[in-house]
């Protein structure tokens, strides 16, 4: 009999739901937009997809894995994603146990799920220690130590997007000042460009990246500032742990060399004074949009 897991990836703009076989093939997948009047409306849409998948699969459900933007409270099974204001202390594990008849439910941070998947079958194969990152609407991190996922005590280890790199810096959505995410997420880079005269009709990071490719100085500076902030966060974190392997995924990382070239340059500049960080291995995630659901499923499959 075929056995499978349900993988759920909760992001700022969409929630992806998929059934994934033991050999890590995606069987069914559907995305739900997170725009909803309240948390119960969002849950109702997700529940509908889950019920449909569970009703149509003929194999045995091994469990449900959830990857979500943080912060998480794994001991209590709740989510409070910074970028999904309609969910605060949302009891995701209780809801999923109820809809599935009490099956096992595991909860990962979204970047930890990416790290898990990329370490198992993606760009981080063969590495004992690795920082995985999602750079998109937000900025998150996930950690592999000694070949194993390291979630921390509450599931929020490697909360790198909300590490402050400037205590007098920009106000972040989390309420702190100078967070990496306040400079380095796609929306924040666009906002910084707008503050400096970038065309207000161009509203997405895709627009910003294309303008930068065309030589727009404001767009280039916003991306340079964002990637510098990101590089400082990365160097601070991996320097603390003495690791040198980094995999980055997410929508911003899909922009190509307009993102990667300045990021590599800033990482080289920030690390050159630290002897043991002179050989940083920086790779683009390979699994793209499926990294989150695959990593979520891995939490119950392996």
Residues 250-266 have a mean pLDDT of 96
Residues of the chain with pLDDT > 70: what percent? 99
How many whole angstroms separate alpha carbon 181 and alpha carbon 138?
A: 6
Task: Specify the pLDDT at position 282.
Answer: 95
Digit-coded pLDDT (tens) for 234-254: 999 999 999 999 999 999 999
Per-residue pLDDT, 16: 93
Place of tokens 């594990």: 93
Check residue 193 and give its pLDDT: 98
- For 3-112+290-301, CATH gives 3.30.420.40
Q: In the predicted model, what is the mean pLDDT of the chain?
A: 92
Sign (positive or negative) of CA dihedral 240, 245, 251, 257: positive
Tokens of 294: 């695959």
Asked whether residue 103 carries a pLDDT value surpassing 80, the answer given is yes
Whether the per-residue pLDDT at 81 is higher than 90: the answer is: no
Reported for 153-157, long-range contacts at CB under 8 A and 24+ positions apart, including other chains, are: 154/71, 154/72, 154/73, 154/74, 154/75, 155/70, 155/72, 155/73, 155/74, 155/107, 155/108, 155/109, 155/112, 156/70, 156/71, 156/72, 156/109, 157/109, 157/112
Give, in order, the Cα–Cα distances in Å from 41 to each of 105, 126, 185, 224.
Answer: 22, 42, 27, 39
pLDDT for 8-67, tens place per residue?
999 878 899 999 999 898 999 999 988 767 788 899 999 999 999 988 888 889 999 999
Q: In the predicted model, is pLDDT for residue 83 greater than 80?
A: no
Average pLDDT over residues 98-124: 91
| Residue 64 backbone phi and psi in degrees, to 5 | -125, 130
List the chain domain ranges.
3-112+290-301, 126-285
Confidence bin at 74 (pLDDT 50/70/90): confident
**What percentage of residues in the chain have a pLDDT greater than 90?**
70
Position 172 scores a pLDDT of 93
Please determine, for residue 219, whether its predicted confidence score (pLDDT) is greater than 90. Answer: yes
Mind listing the pLDDT tens digit for each residue in 149-171? 998 888 788 889 999 999 999 99
CATH 3.30.1360.170 fits 126-285, yes or no: no
Mean per-residue pLDDT, 140-151:
93
Q: What is the mean pLDDT of residues 142-153?
A: 92
Would the pLDDT of 1 be above 70? no
């Amino acid at each position: 009999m075929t056995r499978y897991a349900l993988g759920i990836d909760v992001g700022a703009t969409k929630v992806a739901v998929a059934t994934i076989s033991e050999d890590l093939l995606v069987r069914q997948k559907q995305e739900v937009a997170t725009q909803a009047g309240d948390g119960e409306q969002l849950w109702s849409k997700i529940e509908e997809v889950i019920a449909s998948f569970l009703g149509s699969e003929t194999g045995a459900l091994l469990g449900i894995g959830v990857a979500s933007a943080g912060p998480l409270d794994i001991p209590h099974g709740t989510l409070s994603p910074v970028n999904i204001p309609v969910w605060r202390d949302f009891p995701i594990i209780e809801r999923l146990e109820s809809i599935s008849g009490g099956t096992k439910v595991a909860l990962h941070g979204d970047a930890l799920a990416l790290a898990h998947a990329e370490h198992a079958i993606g760009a981080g194969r063969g590495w004992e220690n690795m920082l995985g990152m999602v750079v998109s609407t937000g900025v998150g991190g996930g950690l592999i130590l000694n070949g194993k996922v390291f979630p921390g005590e509450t599931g929020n280890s490697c909360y790198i997007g909300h590490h402050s790199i400037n205590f007098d810096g920009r106000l972040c959505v989390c309420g702190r000042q100078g967070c990496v995410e306040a400079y380095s997420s796609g929306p924040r880079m666009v906002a910084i460009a707008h503050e400096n005269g970038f065309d207000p009709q161009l509203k997405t990071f895709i627009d910003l990246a294309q303008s930068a490719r065309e030589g727009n100085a404001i767009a280039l500076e916003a991306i340079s500032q964002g990637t510098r902030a990101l590089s400082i966060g990365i160097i601070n974190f991996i320097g603390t742990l003495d690791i040198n392997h980094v995999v980055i995924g997410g929508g911003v990382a899909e922009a190509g060399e307009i993102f990667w070239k300045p990021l590599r340059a800033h990482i080289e500049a920030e690390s050159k004074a630290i002897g043991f960080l002179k050989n940083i291995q920086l790779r683009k995630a390979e699994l793209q949009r499926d990294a989150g659901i695959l990593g979520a499923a891995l939490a119950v499959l392996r």
